[in-house]
Structure 1
Amino acid sequence: MGTLDFEEFLLFKGRNDLVDEIIQLKTKKKTKSIQENLLWAYMDEFMNYGGYPAVVLENNMTQKIELLKDIRDSFIKRDILESGITDETKFYRMLMLLASQSGNLLNVNEISNTLR
């Protein structure tokens, strides 16, 4: 199963009323929701934690974060296996280095020197 879109997310949360509200907002021009703040709160959760069904259904925030870490790690492990990388430690160090430089120019020499 893939990830949920926002309306499916709301259904998983048991908020059929908010799905109906979204449908009304989509079909009627210039309609304002009386549940706008609640919709934004759920949208905030959806944007922060995503639409993986198991994560959506988990109410304990610590467990929710652990589930997301497990998902992240399983994707990374799969990528490592598929690409034939032999040194996982260097791969993880490279990921951390690239993440810390996000939005900046990539300095290949610095990455090479750091990872040896």
Structure 2
Amino acid sequence: MYSTHLSPMQTYLVSENLKKMVSEDWRREKLHSNIAYFKTKMKNANRTVMPSGSAIQPIWIGDEKVALSVSEQLKQKGIWLTAIRYPTVAKGAARLRLTLTTDHTHDDIDFLVKSLVECTYD
């Protein structure tokens, strides 16, 4: 069976953890700060990030083979960014899916953006 969602057990555990964390404002502030920092760094590097206000930041690639290639190049650098492609998204709309967290530092984000710039897109 093809699926890209969490299992019911994972969903339950996530919701229980979210109940605990919802009162911790610093987490929300740090996450929003990381999202804004990432978007700014990507814009300055002339890389396309699709619109998203959430922790999930889709990086536009387009071609499926290129998305797989970039994903593999990043893995070689120690970065796990999954290539999302058809049938999860429309043909020709492949992307990388990044999830930012409060554990990411600006140095982590800088390394990611630098690594993306170094990838070959062919």
After TM superposition, the score normalised by the length of structure 2 is 0.24
Greater relative contact order (Cα 8 A, min sep 6): structure 1 or 2?
2
Structure ranking higher in helix proportion: 1
Structure ranking higher in strand proportion: 2
